[in-house]
Structure 1
């Protein structure tokens, strides 16, 4: 498989890691859109949110728990942060491996994008 996030998870491509456990890896985005911009991925390859099944419920919850832990560790939980999941090209997804962006330390408007 030629997935950049799978290669990062396997240690084949270096990344500035901020969180990791047996199921989830998080690292700083190489093209940050905020002063704090972390990408959170499951270690197991799933292309899009449309591809998750009932068996992935625990894994998806682990991504949210990782985001919560990272926000607390980075000191942004109280002030606030944005979590973004893009789905397919029309939704802005560029890397087809489920991932969540945690962004903080700048104001965010609504509606997004």
Structure 2
């Protein structure tokens, strides 16, 4: 059975996060174990397993998620000069909950 850190820990409140931006359906926050100098995660509050598992009924949430990612990425780009927006699929996706990383700067961890 795969883990879902975002539902099990973040959305449940078990793990406190430093919020960057929040809407009714989306949360963006600083990664709890950052891999980059700037590392923000954006997630839908509804459980969606991954980018390849989005259902037609989730399209509104996906659009809202993209709007939040765009806003946060623009702020990071303006402040730091550049950023990457990354999502992982399949075996690369440790937590089976759709999430996007907005990162900038040098990598600080490799695990």
* Separation in 1, partners of 2:88, 2:78: 22
1:9-24 counterparts in 2 under 5 A?
9-24=11-26
Q: What is the aligned length?
A: 103
Tell me the secondary structure at the aligned position of residue 38 of structure 1.
strand
Greater RCO, 1 or 2 (C-alpha within 8 Å, sep 6+): 2
Q: More strand per residue: 1 or 2?
A: 2
Q: For residue 59 of structure 1, what is the aligned residue in structure 2?
A: 61
Q: TM-score, normalised by structure 1?
A: 0.78
Q: For residue 94 of structure 2, what is the aligned residue in structure 1?
A: 94
Q: For residue 105 of structure 1, what is the aligned residue in structure 2?
A: 105
State which drifts further: 20-29 or 8-17.
8-17
Flag structure 2 segments of 5+ consecutive residues without an equivalent. none
Q: More helix per residue: 1 or 2?
A: 2
- What's the CA shift for 1:61? 1.7
Tell me the secondary structure at the aligned position of residue 43 of structure 2.
strand
Q: TM-score, normalised by structure 2?
A: 0.79
- What's the CA shift for 1:80? 2.6
RMSD across aligned positions (CA): 2.1
